[in-house]
Amino acid sequence: MIRLAALCAFLAGPALADAYPNAQRIISVGGSVTEIVYALGEQDRLVGRDTTSSYPVAARALPDVGYMRRLSPEGVLSINPDLVLAEEGAGPPETIALLQGAALPMETIPGGYDRDAVGAKIFSVAQALGVPEKGRALSQQVLAEIDAALTEVAQQTRPPRVLFVLSMQGGRIMAAGANTSAQGILNLVGAQNALSGVDGYKLVTDEAIANSQADVILMMDRNAGRHQADVLRHPAILTTPAGVNQRLIRMDGLKLLGFSVRTGTAVRELSAALTQVQG
């Protein structure tokens, strides 16, 4: 009942963004935002996207204006957009200021790493595009998928301790602490973040890795392919159950961490992978 009340509140509440129903040359910045634009059936209005917008595959054919946190104002303005939809955290600030100074309409789409944040993000994109009814329908559909997935994962017995490894740099591991999308997806599947006392994505000490006593290592697929062997041979990892049993899960990063239209699928896939890898 609480979830239903929360859904009704944001669907019936005030607009989450200004509406630009006439915008026909839109740049989408942020993979989750681009996924939503496509899921709403409004992709024909897109004329550009950022590097993180890799799904669906059709989005890759659009001009790339750069990584969402290192946007070039020249790259954005060269496409002559009439609207930029930017995921929260896009930047750098000086680029955003220049674009706003050029009188380019911009809407920042709220982030968040939980179930309700997904619904708010979808509805905010739809509102900005001037298609709120599509947003309500898609929000309801996606949240129903997430709820169904959460019902399935609630059957787990002992929550596994999972260490999310973002990358390795010079033999040191960058892992996810609190207030991250990795923490958010682990919360949804009922797993524990094995790394405690850390906020954000940080390079962590070997001692912290060993003390994590992680049951499973989780990585994005694009990084795991390059670093999997090194991670599983890392001396600190080898002191953990994950290292001893060589338990590592690889998943598509945008699906796993995007908190967008595929989050329900991500919950199901990660939960199934955790069950399989633990035997």
Q: Where are the domains of the chain?
A: 2-151, 161-277
Residue-level pLDDT at 3: 43
Residue 157 has pLDDT above 60, yes or no: yes
Look up the CATH superfamily of 161-277: Nitrogenase molybdenum iron protein domain (3.40.50.1980)
Look up the CATH superfamily of 2-151: Nitrogenase molybdenum iron protein domain (3.40.50.1980)
**How far apart are alpha carbons 31 and 8 in whole angstroms?**
26
Residue 25 has pLDDT above 80, yes or no: yes
Q: Which two tokens stand for residue 96?
A: 């955003």
Residue-level pLDDT at 169: 84
**How far apart are alpha carbons 59 and 182 in whole angstroms?**
24
**How far apart are alpha carbons 262 and 146 in whole angstroms?**
9
Residue-level pLDDT at 31: 98
Residue 9 has pLDDT above 50, yes or no: no
Do 191 and 158 meet the contact criterion of CB atoms below 8 Å apart?
no
Residue 263 has pLDDT above 60, yes or no: yes
pTM of the entire structure? 0.90
Chain-wide mean pLDDT for the chain?
A: 91
Segment 41-51, tens digit of pLDDT? 999 999 999 99
Tell me whether the CATH fold assigned to 2-151 matches the one assigned to 161-277: yes
Which run of H or E residues covers position 75?
Answer: helix 73-77
Residue-level pLDDT at 10: 41
